[in-house]
């Protein structure tokens, strides 16, 4: 029953989407989307439950820990948590969580990797202001470095509504994810592990 309800919610939240083939009412595409999202969210829930355990390595970084006033910017701090595992004689990033404080505004970014065991970015989310329920909230789902779904305020949008701006956001998220992967790999290298 839960699967049917979730499938129906996805189908309702995404009218249109890809153009259906003749004789298809969009149910097949909606079912494929629902299956993908359920699989990803199950992966993410299992990953989140392992974050505080010794199954996953955890590095924490504080940016501007002294809360110094940055000229022209003000006091901006970031707290970065990197979670990774050792697999096949190498380290694989699983999740990066970023909390940024800029004055009264606290925003978050989440990067989730490796849902398909390919080491690649699977999901990126952004919450523009934790203290404002009306702030920008978006999620980008990826597969093989390709944007496959976009959500706004928790609702997955139809693919035919993405536009160039959404795809640019996807490229920006992939670039940020790669920067965090590079940062973590550099930390691991200087540790001598």
For residue 99, is it within any domain?
A: yes
pTM of the model: 0.83
For residue 98, is it within any domain?
A: yes
For residue 23, is it within any domain?
A: no
For residue 9, is it within any domain?
A: no
Per-residue confidence (pLDDT) for residue 104, from 0 to 100: 87
For residue 18, is it within any domain?
A: no
For residue 46, is it within any domain?
A: no
For residue 20, the 8-state DSSP code is P
For residue 91, is it within any domain?
A: yes
Number of folded domains in the chain?
A: 1
Which of these, 152, 158, 92, lies nearest to 120 by C-alpha position? 92
State in Å, rounded, how far the first CA of the chain is from the last one: 48
Average pLDDT, the chain: 86
- Report the half-sphere exposure of 104 (CA within 13 A, side-chain side): 2
Per-residue confidence (pLDDT) for residue 72, from 0 to 100: 86
Return averaged pLDDT per consecutive 10 residues of the chain, 193 residues in all.
Answer: 36 40 64 90 97 93 94 92 94 97 94 96 96 93 93 83 90 97 93 78
Per-residue confidence (pLDDT) for residue 25, from 0 to 100: 60
Q: Do residues 96 and 51 make contact, with C-beta atoms less than 8 angstroms apart?
A: no
Q: Do residues 111 and 133 make contact, with C-beta atoms less than 8 angstroms apart?
A: no
For residue 41, is it within any domain?
A: no
Q: Do residues 15 and 158 make contact, with C-beta atoms less than 8 angstroms apart?
A: yes
Per-residue confidence (pLDDT) for residue 27, from 0 to 100: 77
Q: Do residues 47 and 94 make contact, with C-beta atoms less than 8 angstroms apart?
A: yes
Per-residue confidence (pLDDT) for residue 169, from 0 to 100: 95
Per-residue confidence (pLDDT) for residue 26, from 0 to 100: 67
Tens digits of residue pLDDT in 62-98: 999 999 998 988 899 999 999 999 998 899 999 999 9
Domain carrying residue 68: 55-191
């Amino acid at each position: 029953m839960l699967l049917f309800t979730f499938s129906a919610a996805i189908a309702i939240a995404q009218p249109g989407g890809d153009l259906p083939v003749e004789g298809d009412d969009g149910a097949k595409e909606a079912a494929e989307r629902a299956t993908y999202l359920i699989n990803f969210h199950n992966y993410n829930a299992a990953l989140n439950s392992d974050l505080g355990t010794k199954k996953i390595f955890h590095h924490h970084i504080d940016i501007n820990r002294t809360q110094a006033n940055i000229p022209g910017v003000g006091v901006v701090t970031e707290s970065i948590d990197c979670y990774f595992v050792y697999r096949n004689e190498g380290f694989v990033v699983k999740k990066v969580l970023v909390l940024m404080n800029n004055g009264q505004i606290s925003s978050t970014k989440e990067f989730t990797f490796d849902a398909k065991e390919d080491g690649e970015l699977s999901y990126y989310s952004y919450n523009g202001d934790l203290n404002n329920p009306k702030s920008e909230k978006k999620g980008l789902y990826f597969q093989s470095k390709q944007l496959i779904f976009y959500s706004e305020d928790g609702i997955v949008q139809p693919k035919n509504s993405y536009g160039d701006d959404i795809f640019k956001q996807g490229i920006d998220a992939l670039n940020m994810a790669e920067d965090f992967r590079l940062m973590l790999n550099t930390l691991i290298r200087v540790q001598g592990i």
